[in-house]
Structure 1
Amino acid sequence: MSEQDKVNILLVDDQPAKLLSYEVILEGLGENLLTATNAREAFEHLLKSDVAVVLMDVQMPELDGFELAAMIREHPRFEKIAIIFVSAIHLTDLDRMRGYAAGAVDYVPVPVAPEMLRAKVRIFIDLYRKTRQLERMNEELELRVSERTAELEASTQALSRLNEELEARIEERTREREAALAQLFEAQKMDTIGQLTGGVAHDFNNLLMAVLGSLELLRKRVTDERGVRLLENAIEGAERGAALTKRLLAFARRQELKPEAVRVDTLLNGIEDLLSRAVGPSIRIETALDSDLPPVRADVNQLELAFLNLAVNARDAMPEGGSLRISAERISLVAPSQDGLAPGDYLCIAVKDTGTGMDEATLAKAAEPFFTTKGPGKGTGLGLSMVHGMAAQSGGVLRLSSRVGEGTVAHLLLPVAQGDAAKAPSRASSQRQPTLARAPAKRVLIVDDDALVRTGTAAMMEDLGHEVIEADSAAQALAILGSKAMVDLVLTDHAMPGMSGAELVARLREQYPEVRAILASGYAELPSGPAPVDAIRLSKPFTQDELAAAIARATADADRSAAKRRAI
């Protein structure tokens, strides 16, 4: 049998030893044997080659055989491929029925009888060849009919052209569908990573809450110089961990941004020294920004961090030095762009370096989380991911273009601030915070299901002079309040089993309106749940100063409410 006449048999199993045994059993058939250890490799073979028979294990990680068979059957190109299941576990009649429902044509138990397996596969190979032969005969018949009809009727030429156009449309639609499926798969993958990232950041913030709170309190009690230095190093490390969670949340689009009107030229002037130190003396920074550029609507802190990340990436791409040029122009879109940007006015900020550039494969993955071309310990792979997440969450987009040896250009498109929001405050004024006096001593109920966080928060509260009661759930907190315990303030975590902190705050407003509440969370933003929109909120990890400020706000609200009731 010539190589051209051989058909392809795809073997799918996550265990190399089993794949090898199938190859030994089936090599006597004289056909081409393709192997895959997971669903992704199986689909690559199916897309590249015409496969006659798929022999797959049922029990596999990620996608089991039933799920993989269902996905194969959903694809229009693979509807007629013969699928044979091999299983050592799923041997009941219900399992067999499930396999046939998923699209299998046969179900072989383990241990496999070699002669029986070869016979079964040979049957479907013969069926495949006969089907192909019939298809070729049909094609030849159609050609003869077409030729004979063309001799008899001149109008057949028009019909032939219509058929060709129809086939071209079908092919185009098939390509569009495959491209859409690929985009959907990519979107689902990124969304899954985003959900995982958000959850990890939440747990990490809870840990940092316990660490930072304890370190701050210990810092007040340590007097020797070496101990102070060690504590400050530990605090700085924990704060860097908190900054890392913000990057993770920015990529996952779960970072609570505080958008305001920001003048890009003013912002860059304010961080010019920071950018210069970040890139080093061998890189020249050039700015070409007109003073009449409109302000953008973005979170000023995240925008600063985005510029810093872009500058650091450019620095790493220019080990021998070079130049970094930042420019901007206003653009207007009258129709949605291919990357999902809505119609409207945008400021397109271009950050261009003269570095080594990236090839197409690297450029395609550049904004993916944890992807980095730097060596071990030299990069987290979250810089461009953070910029990508910030831009998307702000209603804009990050576009990258690059050529090897010519450098990279990052285009950051952000929406122009409209209306009253366009009156951008100065950076200095926007950062000034009112000085809050320490609130009088209160009796505070701390509600958190994490004992470490609860203990650390209680210690910070007591250090501020307040009396503390602890509860590990919303239900226990309501029981304490129901026992007529005198409580002035409730500080509650949001993510708790049973009743969430947001639900607890809503219950407090209904049953105990005189008790003020502060809602804390390790997530960057809270879902739009039952918590009142004016509830005082704290993001973990918070410092003792931030805790004191929140208590002062809650105390001020309580004093205003009491004064209002006395006036009535």
Structure 2
Amino acid sequence: MDPVNILLVDDQPAKLLSYEVILQELGENLIKAKSGREALEHLLRTEIAVILVDVCMPDQDGFELVAMIREHPRYQKTAIIFVSAVMMAEPDRLRGYEAGAVDYVSVPVVPELLRAKVKIFAELYRKTRQLERFNAQLEQRVADRTAELQASSSQLAALNEQLEYRIEERTREREEALAQLFEAQKLDTIGQLTGGVAHDFNNLLMAALSSLELLSKRLSDGDDRSRRLLNNAIQAAERGAALTQRLLAFARRQELKPQAVDIIRVVTGMEDLLRRAMGPGIRLRSELPDDLPWVLVDTNQLELALLNLVINSRDAMTEGGTVTIFAVPETVRQEGAKLKLEPGNYIRIRVADTGCGMDEDTLARATEPFFTTKGTGKGTGLGLSMVQGLAAQSGGTLVLSSKPSGGTAVDLWLPVAGQIPYQSPVAEDEAPVEEGDQVSRTILVVDDDALVSMGTAAMLEDLGHRVTEVSSGRDALAALARNQNFDLVITDHAMPGMTGSELAAQIKISYPGMPVILASGYVELPGGIELPDILRLSKPFSQDQLIAALSRSFASEASPESSVKQSYK
């Protein structure tokens, strides 16, 4: 006889093990589930003969689970035995039988009694299945003979037509699956290429910008034409740096880094970019209030989301129109559950257009990955799904409203930040320190790219500091061992042999008071040693940003760590 499946449901592993030991003599297949949800998953995948259910479970008690099982047509007659150390009064038993149980076993379990009951119901299941198979075989034979007698040319034609339809449907499904796979592989390849190339591109921009900035300081005030040409080169390099940052933001594989963000400042700072993305014939209107609470979100991903929404609006207005961006504070109370949001304070950012709109079918599928109404090569179908994912990961939601010829409105709900805005170690707009506050220091610059190293050293020397350059982490440790009078180390991250993160970690161990600034061409460090307290500079950086980083580093000399540093100077 083939063994049947017996499902054991209990949230306590020890009890499951004891049931398994008791019932293994029956020679049946024993399947264990630690929760109601896991039990339902087994029931959907496997044919079960007998179910042993614990009454008291934390997430879902046995009565509720049995009631759900009985709702499934396949398990309306399956033998279910309750196991309970409590709730054994007659009303409880009556409730269990009403839920669908066929028997009770009290705890502590008597092994012989449990085996006997399970064996009876397993045998009953086996005999029932045999009878059903016999009946099914008999019915099938009758049906086969009847079908043979009633076969006709029209039936054969119908079968052929159905077969052709199935082949066509399967072929279409296969082509769609291959197309989605191709799009996913293409995007992954683009992300990998972008992340790898952008680091080197940022290094080149670093070398160019540092040299241009120093050259600008040495240019005479009377040479206006040269000054304009130089400023033009600096602006072009800065635009290249901004482009690289946006490409890297798309290519990131890291988890979101939410922080307090000023929506008004983000939208205002992006207006020029958004207008260029929309092109001529489309007007951008920004209807933001004078003041709004800050939201908790990843800034880079928010900017990318707004850009995606504006581009979608542009593509829906082939003959021109208006895109309106506004934001208002909202409070979600208990009755706001239809938005699938936790009660609290939110900012609702709306991007609305006067475009062609969407019908109900298109609107229902608008956020599906790879779904797009644009022509081949004009869209990946990931824009709205990326925005929806950002909203969900940030604790918010995305709401779409549209109708044909009536335009589309996208509402992005984001939670209000409940703390003081986070400030990165070196802020982009941080003002440089005054000249009088600068003190000549001895600084070790570590970078395997000679152009970047030269540019960084030149900016430091222009500030009056003494600089030693090395091209690897090993050379840096050797330089520190020879000369312990360095005041600070500035190191690149991506270097062969030893990364900047590994070098910084080694310096923290060997020279605990030594300040370290980690400079990288990546938006986020691609793995490695975690150094949450270390100061970081994103390449390309300006001399003002370098001054700000130095100021923060040397400010720590007033802390107790400075006494440690003095011990090796």
Overall identity of the aligned pairs, in %: 52
2:217 is aligned to 220
Q: State the SS of the aligned residue for 1:261.
A: strand
Cα distance in structure 1, aligned partners of 2:268 and 2:193: 37
Relative to structure 2, which stretch is displaced further, 507-516 or 402-411? 402-411
Q: After superposition, what is the alpha-carbon deviation per residue over 1:254-282, rounded to whole angstroms, capped at 9, x for unaligned?
A: 58976433464686588889978987997
Superposition deviation, residue 321 in structure 1: 4.1
Q: State the SS of the aligned residue for 1:548.
A: helix
1:521 is aligned to 520
Cα distance in structure 1, aligned partners of 2:451 and 2:218: 20
Cα contact 1:367–1:388 (8 A) shared by 2? no
TM-score normalised over the length of structure 2: 0.54
Superposition deviation, residue 544 in structure 1: 0.9
Superposition deviation, residue 521 in structure 1: 0.7
1:412 is aligned to 412
In the alignment, structure 1 segments of 5+ residues that lack a partner are 1-140, 152-170, 375-379
2:141 is aligned to 145
1:81 is aligned to none
Letter in 2 for 1:229: R
2:543 is aligned to 544
Cα distance in structure 1, aligned partners of 2:421 and 2:489: 36
Cα contact 1:333–1:342 (8 A) shared by 2? no
Letter in 1 for 2:544: D
1:196 is aligned to 193
Note closer, same or farther for the CA distance 1:545–1:272 as it changes in structure 2 (3 Å cut): closer
Cα distance in structure 1, aligned partners of 2:446 and 2:552: 19
Q: After superposition, what is the alpha-carbon deviation per residue over 1:373-420, rounded to whole angstroms, capped at 9, x for unaligned?
A: 59xxxxx99998996896687566778787885544444343x135x3
Note closer, same or farther for the CA distance 1:293–1:536 as it changes in structure 2 (3 Å cut): closer
Note closer, same or farther for the CA distance 1:408–1:206 as it changes in structure 2 (3 Å cut): farther
Q: State the SS of the aligned residue for 1:205.
A: helix
Question: Counterparts of 1:159-170 in structure 2 under 5 Å?
Answer: none
2:205 is aligned to 208
Cα distance in structure 1, aligned partners of 2:209 and 2:260: 32
Cα distance in structure 1, aligned partners of 2:253 and 2:501: 18
Cα contact 1:358–1:408 (8 A) shared by 2? yes
Cα contact 2:347–2:413 (8 A) shared by 1? yes
2:244 is aligned to 245
Cα distance in structure 2, aligned partners of 1:526 and 1:453: 18
1:163 is aligned to none
2:100 is aligned to none
Q: CA RMSD in A?
A: 5.3
Cα contact 2:326–2:350 (8 A) shared by 1? yes
Letter in 2 for 1:520: A
Superposition deviation, residue 186 in structure 1: 5.5
Cα distance in structure 2, aligned partners of 1:280 and 1:417: 33
Superposition deviation, residue 142 in structure 1: 11
Cα contact 2:432–2:544 (8 A) shared by 1? no
2:493 is aligned to 494
Question: Counterparts of 1:360-439 in structure 2 under 5 Å?
Answer: 373=378, 394=394, 407-414=407-414, 416-417=415-416, 420-421=418-419, 433=430, 435-437=432-434, 439=438
1:350 is aligned to 350
Cα distance in structure 1, aligned partners of 2:502 and 2:398: 37
Relative to structure 2, which stretch is displaced further, 222-231 or 278-287? 278-287
Letter in 2 for 1:470: E
Cα contact 2:295–2:416 (8 A) shared by 1? yes
Letter in 2 for 1:220: K
Cα contact 1:250–1:389 (8 A) shared by 2? no
Cα distance in structure 2, aligned partners of 1:149 and 1:366: 48
Q: State the SS of the aligned residue for 2:242.
A: helix
Q: State the SS of the aligned residue for 2:525.
A: coil
Note closer, same or farther for the CA distance 1:296–1:180 as it changes in structure 2 (3 Å cut): farther
Q: State the SS of the aligned residue for 2:559.
A: helix
1:506 is aligned to 505
Note closer, same or farther for the CA distance 1:324–1:184 as it changes in structure 2 (3 Å cut): same
Aligned residues: 388
Cα distance in structure 2, aligned partners of 1:567 and 1:445: 17
Q: After superposition, what is the alpha-carbon deviation per residue over 1:16-55, rounded to whole angstroms, capped at 9, x for unaligned?
A: xxxxxxxxxxxxxxxxxxxxxxxxxxxxxxxxxxxxxxxx
Cα distance in structure 2, aligned partners of 1:253 and 1:333: 35
Cα contact 1:248–1:386 (8 A) shared by 2? no
Q: State the SS of the aligned residue for 1:202.
A: helix
Instruction: Answer yes or no: is 1:453 the counterpart of 2:452.
Output: yes
In the alignment, structure 2 segments of 5+ residues that lack a partner are 1-136, 148-166
Question: Counterparts of 1:279-298 in structure 2 under 5 Å?
Answer: 295-298=294-297
Note closer, same or farther for the CA distance 1:320–1:260 as it changes in structure 2 (3 Å cut): same
